[in-house]
Structure 1
Amino acid sequence: MCDDEIHQGLVHDPSVSRRTFGLMGVAAAAGAATIARAQDNVVEKDVMVKTPDGEADSALFHPAGTGTWPAVLIWPDILGLRPVFRDMGRRLAAQGYVVLVVNPFYRAKKAPIVDGTFNFANPEDRAKIAPLRATLTPPNIDKDSVAYVAFLDAQPQTDKAAKVGVQGYCMGGPLSVRTAAAVPDRIGAVASFHGGGLLTAEADSPHLLIPTTRAEYLILVADNDHKREPEVKDKLAEAFKAAGRPAKVEVYEGADHGWTVKGSQVYNEAAAEKAWAELLALYKRALS
């Protein structure tokens, strides 16, 4: 499964937001208002995270007021750090977490890496991100993972007695597994949403790292990804079982690749909210 070939298609389509808004019922609107009120109590700031290869422009979120909370690292999808992922970071922080959303492509370009509408069916659009994706070699990902977790641990708001969570979307799924292997003593939970490339035939396949990790896993698979490679789900489940790692591997029927990311043509609000609830349950179990 290749994360830049199996994707949500057209992203940042303004008409998607208008259609979604027009279909929202009173209950959904009330829920959105509740989320917005909770996020009023979140501190947000842009930060630069020092890594062995430079500085990664990132966004940091944490609850307002005094106290400490478990930390979470968010790896975005192939289009990187942008408003929709800032929204996720803000929402998660409102639930009581210190959240770092990173720009994975900082070596090549600061965020945002694309402007306006991006169409994965357009070869010219795909060509824009190919050289950026090439900077994410396994050694670079591992170095960055260590730096990001160290940055989170250095924040006064981080509860360093608690384990750290890491979640990833699309290409961020395998990056999250690599993070768990790079910092096994700190990562207690890994969540992958429509992750691409979790299991490959290559020697550096992320699934081969599972035995070196100490985390609990939540692997939520897109329906169309599963239909293309139906064997991946079972092979991942077998790998977790063999490594003795607690894991849930689930196909979200009817939800296509990218279903959790607002602004994509395939965004599925009901399925995205279900996935969010599963994420919070994972963190409550594994990071406390």
Structure 2
Amino acid sequence: MRHVASDIAGLFPTMDLSRRGFVVTTLAAGFALTVQPVQASTITTDTEGLVAGEVQIPVADGTIPAYRAQPAKPGPHPVLLVVEEIFGVHEHIKDMCRRFAKQGYLAIAPELYSRLGDVVAMTDIKEVVATVNKAPDKTEMSDLDATVAWAGKNHGDTRRLGITGFCRGGRTVWMYAAHNHNLKAGVAWYGPLVGTPTDAMPTNPVDVAGEIKAPILGLYAGLDQGILKEHVETMRAKLLETGNTRSQIVVYPDAQHGFNADYRPSYNEADAKDGMSRCLAWLRANGVGQEEA
């Protein structure tokens, strides 16, 4: 059952739910309502050989739900943070965690919008965007740090720490790489690179390029209507300017934004498969997934 603060307050009117400020405390089942109907191309990964399901992550001001998938065999396993799209930790993000777990990772996706709104249940894309744009980078960084700490206590090897993310989560990959210098590597899927500063997002990836120490692979779409060619070229130039020669950006010329989202019309099977192959190779080549000697 999904628990939303307003519903609980109606049952227990004497409870002070505002103190914690969490709207979503349990992950939803299924796909985000904004992106229905789900396409026939949708991939479903089983849990055979895995331990998978919802967990609760202690954070600075309470707990947030997360989806975790990892091999059933004893660890410790390399840790991979999986950062959601603007649609929340819905079935596609859970499936991505299972796909990575099949490759040997403790893959975990925290619900970073849990304080702001139930984006999985929203049906208006404008409401979704307005909600996620209120998510402060500072809070996201803290929540991801807390997720890493949880993984380290639950059969994860945080010395082999990676991150991947999609859409807004792709932007978070770049930002977290600048924040956490213990990160080994990251893969950003079509994440925004530039933007107008706001209170929640005072800087963007191009602004923090010089603080990124880990090698990041960016996977971008040539037909993206929001992340333009000049944005990509600006980021490439910033990386070179600041000496980050290990990071790379690959652009798929015939792909649209969301080309890995197999549940949406934007899905491009060939580019998604190539991107996943590059993603796994990048992580392993940069110390995320390699077994310790």
Displacement of 1:131 in angstroms is 4.6
Q: Which amino acid counterpart does residue 185 of structure 2 have in structure 1?
A: A
Per the alignment, residue 151 of structure 1 pairs with: 150
2:191 to 192, 195, 205: 195
Displacement of 1:275 in angstroms is 0.5
Whether contact under 8 Å (1:167, 1:190) holds in the other structure is yes
Per the alignment, residue 79 of structure 2 pairs with: 71
> 2:27 matched to 1:13?
no
Aligned counterparts, 1:116-135, within 5 A: 118=123, 125-135=124-134
> 2:172 matched to 1:175?
yes
Per the alignment, residue 160 of structure 1 pairs with: 158
Whether contact under 8 Å (1:259, 1:267) holds in the other structure is yes
DSSP-derived class of the 2:279 partner: helix
When residues 168 and 136 of structure 1 are mapped into structure 2, their CA distance, relative to the original with a 3 A threshold, is: same
Unaligned stretches of 5+ residues in structure 2: 1-33
- Per-residue CA deviation, residues 57-86 of structure 1 (Å, 9 max, x unaligned), is 111111011132210001111101011111
DSSP-derived class of the 2:188 partner: strand
Displacement of 1:184 in angstroms is 1.2
DSSP-derived class of the 1:149 partner: helix
Aligned counterparts, 1:103-142, within 5 A: 103-109=111-117, 113-114=120-121, 118=123, 125-142=124-141
After TM superposition, where is structure 1 displaced by more than 4 Å over at least 4 residues in a row? none
- Aligned mates of 1:228, 1:70 — CA distance in 2: 31
Unaligned stretches of 5+ residues in structure 1: 1-9, 22-31, 119-124
TM-score (norm 1): 0.79
When residues 226 and 184 of structure 1 are mapped into structure 2, their CA distance, relative to the original with a 3 A threshold, is: farther
- Aligned mates of 1:228, 1:73 — CA distance in 2: 23
Q: Which amino acid counterpart does residue 189 of structure 1 have in structure 2?
A: A
When residues 199 and 56 of structure 1 are mapped into structure 2, their CA distance, relative to the original with a 3 A threshold, is: same
- Aligned mates of 1:139, 1:87 — CA distance in 2: 27
When residues 104 and 228 of structure 1 are mapped into structure 2, their CA distance, relative to the original with a 3 A threshold, is: closer
When residues 247 and 66 of structure 1 are mapped into structure 2, their CA distance, relative to the original with a 3 A threshold, is: same
Paired residue total: 250
Displacement of 1:266 in angstroms is 1.1
When residues 40 and 174 of structure 1 are mapped into structure 2, their CA distance, relative to the original with a 3 A threshold, is: same
- Per-residue CA deviation, residues 230-249 of structure 1 (Å, 9 max, x unaligned), is 21122111122223221121
Displacement of 1:44 in angstroms is 0.4
Per the alignment, residue 98 of structure 1 pairs with: 106
- Per-residue CA deviation, residues 173-214 of structure 1 (Å, 9 max, x unaligned), is 1111221222212x1112111112x22354512222222232
| Percent of aligned positions that are identical | 23
Whether contact under 8 Å (1:55, 1:106) holds in the other structure is no
Whether contact under 8 Å (2:190, 2:258) holds in the other structure is yes
- Aligned mates of 2:77, 2:243 — CA distance in 1: 28
Per the alignment, residue 278 of structure 1 pairs with: 278
Q: Which amino acid counterpart does residue 36 of structure 2 have in structure 1?
A: H
Whether contact under 8 Å (1:45, 1:60) holds in the other structure is yes
TM-score (norm 2): 0.78
Per the alignment, residue 204 of structure 2 pairs with: 205
How large is the Cα RMSD of the aligned pairs? Answer: 2.3
When residues 232 and 128 of structure 1 are mapped into structure 2, their CA distance, relative to the original with a 3 A threshold, is: closer
Per the alignment, residue 5 of structure 1 pairs with: none
Quick check: which one's helix share is greater? 1
Displacement of 1:109 in angstroms is 3.7
- Aligned mates of 1:158, 1:201 — CA distance in 2: 37
